[in-house]
Amino acid sequence: MHNMEKQYGRGFHCGLISENRNILFGLSMVMIILFHFSEDFHAAFEAGKVLPFPFWGGWILKYYRYVRSIGVELFVFMAGMGQYYSYHKNPGAWNYYKRRAGRVLIPYALLAIPFWFMVDGVLSKTGIVRYLEDLFFLTFFTDAEHALWFIGFILVMYLILPVVYFLFYGHGRFVGTIAFLVLTGLVIAANNGLRLQLPQTYLGIELAITRIPIFLIGVYAGKWIKEDRRLSGILVCIFVLGAIALKISMVQHGMTNAIVRYTDIAYALAILVVLTVLATGIQRIHWLKNGLTLIGAYSLELYMTHVTVRSVFKQLKIGTWHVRSYVMVILLAILLSAGLKKMTDALTQTKA
């Protein structure tokens, strides 16, 4: 009841995002999984392998058009917010790097070493050089290999976080705001310069570099969320409706140029507000709350196992656009994520 009163009685309280953090991570993970299915279903539809059945097929295609990968934006924003909390609580670059390395590198090594061996050594037989290039993310830049791109991306974000935190919070609120605006603008300008100068390189890596701004927004918004800033309910509603209307208009007009990634930031923030409101209601539905919270707690491991299992299915020419096949992808990913989490926790505790 307290959350609901804060949400509807006195405008939108940013602290609700943190209070519902695990549910929101769970929802974003579900959205990513749905996007991957809609992507595969859309590709099969375009190839004439499947028809959009009157009910669910049409909705899947609509999801692909209007929602797409916005769950990734939500995930990255939440990651940025979480890193603000982590660094604010225990400042110091070296300690921060040690904490983050254990959280990401251990599960990545446990999963990626056998995964890339299976892909490069067993399925495609491309050899040891390709195996090492895949393992260390080199093929993300050379061959647009996207299977585990997010892990490389988030490792880079963790690497720059102490500098970003210092720029945003080391010299007072006004200077920090200016630093946030300038840094975000420079990233967008640099991305656009790369798109114009090296278009092929840009196309291969744009799904990562165009997500840097929303990570920065997550770090900057972390302070607002921690302080439980109150925002005008009317202004928030106008923003949400405007961002959603803009997205619908851009989809209907077939706009797919570079600006879409950045307008999707506003769309993602609008969806975040909507999901935060929904999450306050989900708190009362215990089975749904517990399920989404569990998904949120396993979100990193589930992301890694989901994309790797899906990639193996594709390598084996198993149609992941088929519901039964995709259910198998999800079930295997869940089982593997549980094992991966258990092994990671065991190694982390042993190391500690």
pLDDT at 6: 45
**Residue, of 53 and 102, whose pLDDT is higher:** 102
Please give the pLDDT value at position 4.
41
Alpha carbon separation from 338 to 8, 11, 75, 90, 163 (Å, rounded):
37, 39, 20, 28, 34
Using pLDDT thresholds of 50, 70 and 90, give the confidence band for residue 351: low
User: What percent helix, strand, coil does the chain show, rounded to 5?
Assistant: 80, 0, 15
Q: Span 135-141, mean pLDDT?
A: 94
Q: Specify whether the CB–CB gap between 220 and 175 falls below 8 A.
A: no
Of 143, 124, 114, the C-alpha closest to 317 is 124
Task: Give the domain extent around 14.
Answer: 2-351
Mean pLDDT of the chain: 91
Reading the block at residue 194, the tokens are: 């790369």
Say what the pLDDT of residue 3 is: 44
User: What are the pLDDT digits (tens) for 186-202?
Assistant: 999 999 999 999 999 99
Please count the structural domains in the chain.
Answer: 1
Q: What is the mean pLDDT of residues 291-308?
A: 95
- The predicted structure's pLDDT at residue 2: 43
pLDDT tens digits, one per residue of 215-251: 999 999 999 999 999 999 999 999 999 999 999 999 9
Residue 33 predicted with pLDDT over 50: yes
